Amino acid sequence: MRNTKLPPELQAAWDEIDRYARDFGLDYFPISFEVLDYRTLYEIAAFDGFPTRYPHWRFGMAFDQLIKGHTYGLSIIYEMVINNNPSYAYLLEGNELTTQKMVMAHVAGHVDFFKNNFWFSHTNRHMLDTMANHAVRIQKLIDRYGYDTVEDFIDTCLSLENLIDYHAPYIRRPEAQTEVPVTQDEDAAELRVEGLRVERPYMSPYINPPEFLEEQRRRLEEEQRRSQRFPEHPQKDVLLFLLNYAPLERWQHTVLEIIRDEAYYFAPQAMTKILNEGWASFWHSEIMTKRAARASEIIDFAEHHSSVVATSPQRLNPYKLGLELLRDIEERWNKGKFGKEYEECDDVVAKRNWDRQLGLGRQKIFEVRRFHNDITFIDEFLTPEFALEQKLFTFRYNRDTDLYEIASREFEEIKRQLLFRLTNFGQPFIYVEDGNYANRGELYLRHRHEGVDLRIDYARDTLRNLFKIWKRPVHLETVVDERKKLLTFDGRDYSERRIE
């Protein structure tokens, strides 16, 4: 175990910030801080914050890019924190004390969020150990089957890692576990509809009118048709489906399971990026400006803070958006700027000066922190006034000029675009429709098209990877240039054909 003792001045700073944060009502797991030089910090960052991961080249690639980013001054990591109990947070050695204090306050916000936000409630709080276990298990497989073989299979799994059901941990979906055998008894009993039991034959037309019998027959047929479907309902957790039904060797099963576990662990972080960063930024400002920063530190703090929440037209900064939206909510609930009466008020001036002195702001943002993810957060709290004040706009790419240009400042448009980008994290919705397509054990996936086409070259390579796992032809139904298409990889050739 590494030495995790903080230097005395940082320990003193943390003791102080810890006190303020708890006074403000933050409630977090114990936090273990560690000061690292930038190289080590980037090493851990390359492993997504975990000191131990299984061997894989992409961590090396991430490290290479982080170091390059640092060398060219493009990106600097100040802090990193992992969702675990206790939580681990890393500070960059050599930062000024003011910066370290701000980072500590920021980290307290994150850990409070990890602990209390609903979307994190199912995450593994011993992920540090789990990751280390994964590393050991994969290392064993490597020893046994060879580095190249295992690496190649990890690549294959990673290619599918986004095909999980982000909501699965929160909803029971029994169909996810259906154990319907792939092959059905072909000679299923003939359909026989008898209707209700009739004592006297002459009563039959009355008790079982033809329409009723017809209806019964139809229902039965439907039922049987459905029971032959496999899976019974389209299944979004493609990885789980593969784990259950793909002809995997035991070690491959292990690898795929590990990749899926890790994907689910990281999913809530992606689902709550804006809110989580906003929350942490809210608290570092609050704690620093109201309590922790000395007069001599204010300038340094302000400078640093402004770089965190800096905006540029090309990038929506999640720290900034989250922070401003939380502040907006706090103000609105403090002043009572919500509810039917406020919404229906037509007087612009009255609306602007609205203040019912409710003081519910703090309570409200804690509630937001508990229940929301980015989508519900934006959906519920983004207002036209806010969009105007924050100068939000949508942009689009203009092929003729090769420029990105401002497309609209309409609220509805902005909100729609934002939500679209956030839905499923801007990942396409893909479902397993049929695991026994054409009654030949082929895999049929469907992309629920929502206006944006897939990137076809990637889709093609992903299908190849799916085939490696399913070992039978794989199909993906999608829409290309407004035409419904079926992309197929049959193990040798890739093909595309129009359907319907």
Partner 1 sequence: MANRVERDLNRFRQIVRGKIKQDLRKYMSQGEMIGRQGRRYVSIPLPQIDIPQFRFGQKQGSGVGQGDGDVGDPIAQGNGQDGSGEAGDQAGQHVIEVDVTLEELAQILGEELQLPNIEPRGKKNIIAEKDRYTGIAKVGPDSLRHFKRSYREALKRQIATGEYDPDNPVIIPIRDDIRYRSWKTTLLPESNAVIIYAMDVSGSMGTEQKELVRITAFWIETWLRSQYKSIDIRYIVHDAAAKEVDQQTFYHLREGGGTKISSAYKLALRLIEERYPPDDWNIYCFHFSDGDNWGGGDTRECVELLRTHLLPKVNLFCYGQVRSLYGSGRFAHDLEEYLGHVDNLVISEIADREDIYDTIKDFLGKGK
Residues 6+ apart with CB under 8 A from 372: 117, 272, 275, 380
Cβ closer to partner 1: 61 or 298?
61
Nearer residue to partner 1 within complex by CB, 305 or 335: 305
Euclidean distance between CA atoms 434 and 472, whole angstroms: 13
**Residue 429: beta bridge partners?**
448
- Decide: 319 and 281 in contact? Cβ < 8 Å: yes
Q: Which is nearer to partner 1, 149 or 390 (CB)?
A: 390
Q: How far is the CB of 424 from partner 1 (least distance, A)?
A: 10
Shortest Cβ distance from residue 205 to partner 1 (Å)? 56
Nearer to partner 1 (CB atom), residue 15 or residue 64: 64
Instruction: Determine the 3-state secondary structure of 44 from DSSP.
Output: helix
**What is the 8-class DSSP label of residue 47?**
T
CB of 93 to partner 1, least distance (A): 15
* Contacts made by residues 208-217, CB under 8 angstroms, sequence distance 24+: 217/191, 217/193
Distance in Å, CB of 221 to partner 1, minimum: 34
Comparing CB distances to partner 1, the nearer of 399 and 440 is: 399
Q: How far is CA 25 from CA 10, 75, 116, 290, in A?
A: 22, 32, 12, 14
CB of 254 closer than 8 Å to CB of 262:
no
Q: How far is the CB of 204 from partner 1 (least distance, A)?
A: 56
Rounded distance between C-alpha atoms, residue 90 and residue 79, angstroms? 6
CB of 79 to partner 1, least distance (A): 18
Q: How far is the C-alpha of 244 from the C-alpha of 230, rounded, in Å?
A: 12
Q: Which is nearer to partner 1, 300 or 442 (CB)?
A: 442
The secondary structure of residue 189, as a DSSP letter, is P
CA–CA dist 281, 375 (Å, integer)? 19
Query: CA 163, CA 151: separation in Å to the nearest integer?
Result: 20
What are the φ/ψ torsions at residue 480 (nearest 5 degrees)?
-120, 125
Instruction: Count how many residues are written for the chain.
Output: 500
**Amino acid letter for position 428:** P
- CB of residue 289 to partner 1, shortest distance in Å: 23
Q: Find the radius of gyration of the CA atoms of the chain.
A: 28
> Between 361 and 473, whose beta carbon lies closer to partner 1?
473
> What are residue 19's phi and psi, to 5 degrees?
-65, -50
178/394 with CB nearer partner 1 = 394
List the structure tokens of 422.
């956030």
To partner 1, the closest distance from the beta carbon of 275 in angstroms equals 14
Give the largest CA-CA distance in the chain: 100
Residues 389, 376 contacting (CB under 8 angstroms): no
Pick 28 or 241: Cβ nearer partner 1: 241
Nearer to partner 1, 6 or 44 (CB): 44
CB of 125 to partner 1, least distance (A): 23
Cα angle at 226 between 223 and 232, to 5 degrees? 135
Beta carbon of residue 162, minimum distance to partner 1 (angstroms, whole number): 5
